[in-house]
C-alpha cells in the first residue's frame, strides 16, 4: 500500500472516477468562467495565473482552451499528479515563487494542512497574489451541512470559517464566492461587493481608476 497520501488511489476515487468524484470538467469550466468574468468586471488584468494544488489539471485545460494568452503555471505536492498531469512539484507550505500572478487558484488544499502549515501556506499564497485569489477550503460547518461525505475526502482539518478569515484578511479583502482581492493591488469595490465585516480602515481603494455604474 502506498505511503503517499495523494496517490493513484486517492485521485482515482476523488477526481478521476465519474462515479465517485464531486466535480468534473464541466462544473470546473463553469467556475473558471465565473472567476475570470468577475475579474474582467472589476477591471483586474489577467495575464498570468498560478494554480496551487492543480490536481487533474482542469483549470489548465480551461485556460488552454479559452484563455491561451494567459501565462498559466501549475504546481502540486502529489508525485502521482505531477507525473501524470505534468505539474511542477512544490509544497505551498515551504515554497513561493519570486514573482506574483494576477490570479492565484487554491482549490481544496488548505484543509489538508495543520494550523501552522496552513498559516505558512496563506502567507506564501498572499506573497504570490498580484490581483485576486480564488480559494476553496471546506470548513467544519461545510463538513457537517454542505459536502457529500461519500464523494468528499473527510480526512482533513475541520477549521472554522472565522479561523481562515482572520488570517486571510491580513492580506486580502473578501469579495465573495471564494474570491479575495489583494489589499495592495489597488482594486476598488462597491460596498455591497465586499464582505460587510471588513472595517472601513481596512478597505482597499484606488484613486486613479474608477468603475462606472449604470443607474
How many H-runs (helices) and E-runs (strands) does the chain carry?
A: 7, 7
Q: Where residue 2 falls among pLDDT bands split at 50, 70, 90?
A: low
What is d(CA 139, CA 168) in angstroms, rounded to the nearest whole number? 14
Question: pLDDT category, 5, cuts 50, 70, 90?
Answer: confident
Mean pLDDT of the chain: 88
Average pLDDT over residues 9-24: 71
Q: What is the pLDDT of residues 51-79, one digit of tens each?
A: 999 999 999 999 999 999 999 999 999 99
Tens-digit pLDDT profile for residues 128-173: 999 999 999 999 999 999 988 888 888 899 999 999 999 999 999 9
Residue 180: its pLDDT value, please?
98
Q: What pLDDT score does 126 carry?
A: 98
pLDDT tens string 21-47: 667 889 999 999 999 999 999 999 999
Rounded-to-integer distance, Cα 105 and Cα 17, Å: 23
Residue 65: which H helix or E strand, with range? helix 58-66
CA dist 78 and 11 (Å) reads: 10
Residue 48 pLDDT > 60: yes
d(CA 194, CA 205) in angstroms, rounded, equals 12
How many Å separate Cα 38 from the centre of its chain?
14
Distance of CA 93 to the CA centre of its chain: 15
Q: Which three cell numbers stand for residue 186?
A: 489597488
> Residue 34 has what DSSP assignment?
H
Do the bridges between strand 179-182 and strand 172-176 make them parallel or antiparallel, or are there none, so unpaired? antiparallel
The percent helix, strand, coil of the chain (3-state, each to 5) is: 40, 15, 45
* Distant-in-sequence, close-in-space partners of 39: CB < 8 Å, separation ≥ 6: 46, 102, 103, 131, 132
Collapse the DSSP code of 10 into the 3-class scheme (helix H, G, I; strand E, B; otherwise coil) and give the result.
helix
Q: In the prediction, which pLDDT does 105 show?
A: 98
Q: State pLDDT tens for residues 100-128.
A: 999 999 999 999 999 999 999 999 999 99
> What is the three-class DSSP state of 119?
helix
**Predicted pLDDT of residue 20:** 59
Strand partners, 60: none
By the 8 A CB rule, do 178 and 195 touch?
no
Instruction: List domains and CATH numbers for the chain.
Output: 24-202 (3.40.50.150)
Whole-number pLDDT of residue 87: 97
Amino acid at each position: 500500500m502506498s505511503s503517499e497520501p495523494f496517490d493513484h488511489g486517492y485521485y482515482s476515487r476523488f477526481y478521476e472516477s465519474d462515479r465517485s468524484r464531486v466535480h468534473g470538467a464541466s462544473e470546473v469550466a463553469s467556475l473558471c468562467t465565473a472567476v475570470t468574468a468577475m475579474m474582467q468586471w472589476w477591471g483586474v488584468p489577467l495575464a498570468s495565473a498560478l494554480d496551487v494544488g492543480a490536481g487533474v489539471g482542469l483549470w489548465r485545460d480551461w485556460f488552454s482552451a479559452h484563455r491561451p494568452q494567459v501565462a498559466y503555471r501549475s504546481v502540486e505536492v502529489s508525485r502521482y499528479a505531477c507525473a501524470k498531469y505534468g505539474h511542477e512539484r512544490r509544497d505551498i507550505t515551504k515554497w513561493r515563487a519570486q514573482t506574483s500572478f494576477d490570479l492565484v487558484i487554491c482549490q481544496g488544499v488548505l484543509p489538508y494542512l495543520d494550523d501552522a502549515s496552513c498559516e505558512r501556506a496563506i502567507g506564501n499564497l498572499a506573497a504570490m497574489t498580484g490581483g485576486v485569489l480564488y480559494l476553496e477550503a471546506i470548513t467544519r460547518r461545510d463538513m457537517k451541512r454542505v459536502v457529500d461525505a461519500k464523494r468528499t475526502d473527510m480526512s482533513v482539518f475541520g477549521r472554522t470559517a472565522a479561523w481562515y478569515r482572520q488570517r486571510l484578511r491580513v492580506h486580502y479583502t473578501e469579495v465573495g464566492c471564494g474570491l479575495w482581492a489583494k489589499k495592495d493591488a489597488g482594486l476598488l469595490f462597491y460596498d455591497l461587493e465586499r464582505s460587510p465585516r471588513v472595517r472601513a480602515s481596512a478597505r482597499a481603494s484606488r484613486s486613479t481608476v474608477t468603475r462606472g455604474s449604470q443607474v
